Structure 1
Amino acid sequence: MAASEYEFQGWLGHSPAAAEGRMEWGTYEPKQWTEDDVDIQVTHCGVCGSDLHMLRSGWFDTPYPCCVGHEIVGRAVRVGSRVAGDIRVGDRVGVGAQARSCLEKSCAACSSGRENYCARANIGTYGAVYPGGEGKSYGGYADYNRTHGRFVFKIPAGLPSEFAAPMLCAGITVFSPLRRERCGPGKSVGIVGVGGLGHFGVLFAKALGADRVVGISRKAEKRDDVLRLGAEEYIATDDGGGGSWAEGHARSLDLIVCTVSSEDMPLTDYLRLLKVDGVFIQVGNPDGGKLPRVSALTLLEGGIKMGGSSIGSPEEIREMLQFAADKGIKPWVEMRSLRDANQTVVDMAQGKARYRYVLVNDRHAAAGIAN
């Protein structure tokens, strides 16, 4: 398909009001084409909390207009001559939260396969301005997407598009730290915040072979869901006991992955759940980037290690997608029409998702191009 045969259109946010369901459908100019790029006809796009942060300028001033969506699956319709690997026109492919890095050998992150930590030219899939006047990045609440081929991934056969889409951000955000911290047999793992990211955390921790997986969230109402996802135990932190949940489960976990994005979360109590030499990894990023204060004594008394993790590298994403296909990972998703994107972001903001919304571009999906 020639580029002249399609137009880049999508749901555009023009101000912070877009996060309240006021996006407008319109045409936009994608980044300038290079022979490193892939154009994708979008069939599915997951709805991520990051979309809301960006629409409302929660992390920084968003360069409006902005088309969000970085859990993209569709069909490659144009593949640049310099795209490495085996991506061909017609392939079912996906894009996550990163559209490009500097990819220079002199970059410690890129040269070591950690492109997601590139500090020189880390371009998000939407809301980022490319260097050199190449334009802006636009996401997947749209008909088409253009992304550098290094960050476009073939979707394994047997992994449904509606499952693959939310894995490209929510899934990899928890899979990467679980894998790096050697989640597996002999480990007790806690997942804080059972939402879009957290439910993937439970699924992947179990599939990786953890002996004991504990879901940790505020409300008792999620207990049955978490146990159905495969966890052995659930902790409701709003138990009315003034923190007794932390005392009752003290020093019981080897690893905690925290998906919560709040500067008011009971971080010290979470840390008390860790065994000696336990590891706490933060993946949630609240508006303003603020987290609660932590007492040095809490860390010293338990030999606790704290760290952070941001999405995942291209190789980790490929590994995760194949792992999910091999293990039959089935996230809990609700598919919505792309036409209903405004209502969907409102519902997402109100916490109604159980546990991930996926927008379906009805026209493209109905054509049977990416099933």
Structure 2
Amino acid sequence: MSAQTDYKFAGWAGDAPDSIEGKLKWIEYEPKKFAEDDIDIKIQYCGICASDISTLSEGWGPMKDAYPQIVGHEIVGEVVRVGKDTKNGIKMGDIVGVGAQCDSCLKCHYCNKDQENYCSGGMVGTYNGKFSRTSEGSKSWGGYADYWRGPSHFAIPIPEGMDPAEAAPYLCGGGTMYTPLVQHGAGKTAKNIGIIGLGGLGHFGVLLAKSLGCEVTVISHSARKKEDAEKLGASHFLITGDDEAKAFKGHERSLDLIICSSNAPDMNMTAYLSLLRPGGNFILTGVPETGKISDISPFSLIMGNVHIGGSLIASPATLKEMLALVAEKKVHPWIKKWPMDKVNEAVPDMVAGNARYRHVLVNVKNGGKL
């Protein structure tokens, strides 16, 4: 399908919202035109992210002409083609990963400050995006596939000795939690960290905060995941039940930083903000199901000197830093491997909430190991 290659670009695509019910179809497709700073990756592993589900199901809005869509942005595999202007010292045969972003303008103020994820021209998603810097208008295709093509700038070498299957979900889920942790001083100025929601993102939050030397409190609706939280390294577990204000009595001003990975609706923000010490930050990485956060009294912010913010995905530099840390400290995510040809079983299992805590597709024919 692509000039100058002896392999075809093909993958598991959704063509309607019900594709998440186990109706993904194998298709061939034409990738972007190869640019001299591009690489091709023979995909061996790809994590399943909640973003994949939200995209395919139209939970994040109508797809219109975006179908068919091959999702997947936690990609790890072997480099099988390089352009003459390849970045990051990447060469043939290297094992590299690609996260949720695959391009940006690479010229603006933010791109020049290792903040490509906040590019003034807009980031290009690894799937459901459109390239503009090269191959203008070409569609970006994700990692539930045999091969991936895109700019080498956004490919991250996987540290030697790190399990590539474990590296895959770090590239989006891990990076999404690591970014606000380091931005807001985890392990330095922020020693006591709260993680709201122990799901795919939240479990990374616990692992990474612990690896940065923090004391971690998991905040969850019920006691169902208390044992998991403790095994992951959490020191405390707060159960909100249906009354956060009551649940948090006696815990006021106990945390320096709270990262909310939950999408729970109607959170009592005044109660959550009471957990923060003066100067503390409440950072959203998950989006409430209502699409908005509940009413916040300005006095909660003013009297407590607390702050509410948000954080997107990680930049390439941040991903590289995070992978070096977890490789050194041997921080292992909780994953379940699925053969990629069982994707129509793995995705519904993810939708059903059975992941503890990340599913990873393994492309066995490309050298992935189950």
Check the 8 A contact 1:262/1:290 in 2, yes or no.
no
1-side partners of 2:356 and 2:234: how far apart?
16
Structure 1 residues 153 and 215, CA gap change in structure 2 (3 angstroms): same
Counterpart residue identity of residue 153, structure 1: I
Flag structure 1 segments of 5+ consecutive residues without an equivalent.
none
Q: Does 1:147 align with 2:150?
A: yes
Q: CA deviation at 1:355?
A: 0.4
Amino acid at match of 1:269: A
* Offset, 1:85: 2.3
Amino acid at match of 2:302: L
Equivalent-residue separation in structure 2 for 1:60 and 1:102 (angstroms): 25
After TM superposition, give the deviation of residue 35 of structure 1 in Å.
0.9
Contact preservation (8 Å) 2:128, 2:140: yes
| Equivalent residue, structure 1, for 2:249 | 247
- Equivalent residue number for residue 198 of structure 1: 202
Q: Distance in 2 between matches of 1:264 and 1:13?
A: 32
- The answer to whether residue 78 in structure 2 is matched with residue 69 in structure 1 is no
* Cα drift, residue 203 of structure 1: 0.7
Within 5 Å, which residues of 2 pair with 1:89-128?
89-104=92-107, 107-128=108-129
53-62 vs 307-316, greater mean Cα deviation:
53-62
Structure 2 match to 1:341: 343
What's the CA shift string for 1:98-144, capped at 9, x where partnerless? 0000111xx12112111000131410000112236441001111111
In 2, the alpha carbon distance for the partners of 1:61 and 1:130 equals 20
Match of 2:36 in 1: 35
One-letter code of the match for 1:55?
L
Structural mapping, 1:203-282, within 5 Å:
203-210=207-214, 212-238=215-241, 243-282=245-284
State the 1:219 CA deviation.
2.0
Asked if the contact 1:12–1:66 (Cα under 8 Å) also holds between the matched residues in 2, the reply is yes
Q: 2:303 aligns with which of 296, 301, 307?
A: 301
Structure-1-length-normalised TM-score = 0.93
TM-score normalized by structure 2?
0.94
Q: Matched residue pairs, number?
A: 364
Whole-Å separation in 2 of the counterparts to 1:102 and 1:286: 30
Work out whether 1:9 is the aligned partner of 2:5: no
| 1:28 positional shift | 1.1
| Distance in 2 separating the partners of 1:90 and 1:265 | 48
Using the TM superposition, give the Cα deviation of residue 345 of structure 1 relative to its aligned residue in structure 2, in angstroms. 1.5
Shift of 1:242: 6.0
Work out the CA distance in 2 between the residues paired with 1:39 and 1:270.
45
Of 93-102 and 299-308, more deviation after overlay is shown by 299-308
Decide whether the 8 Å contact of 1:169 with 1:311 is kept in 2: yes
CA distance in structure 1 between the aligned counterparts of 2:243 and 2:69, rounded to whole angstroms: 44
Matched, 1:52 2:53: yes
Secondary structure in structure 1 of the residue aligned to 2:367: helix
Partners of 2:243 and 2:31 lie apart in 1 by 53
CA 1:268–1:262: 2 relative to 1, 3 Å? same
- Paired residue type of 2:235: E
CA distance in 2, matches of 1:304, 1:51: 33
Q: Any conservation in 1 of the 2:244–2:272 contact (CA below 8 Å)? A: no
Change (3 A) 1:352 1:3: farther
Between the aligned partners of 1:149 and 1:36, the Cα distance in structure 2 is 6
Task: Verify the 8 A CA contact 2:222 2:239 in the aligned structure 1.
Answer: yes
Contact 1:187 1:254 (C-alpha < 8 Å) held by counterparts: yes
| CA–CA distance in structure 2, aligned partners of residues 143 and 180 of structure 1 | 35
For 2:60 and 2:165, locate their aligned partners in 1 and report how far apart those are by CA, in whole Å: 28
- Quick check: 120-129 or 286-295, which moved more? 286-295
In structure 2, what residue type is equivalent to 1:206?
A: K
| Secondary structure of 1:316 counterpart | helix
RMSD (CA atoms): 1.9
- The answer for unaligned runs of 5 or more in structure 2 is none
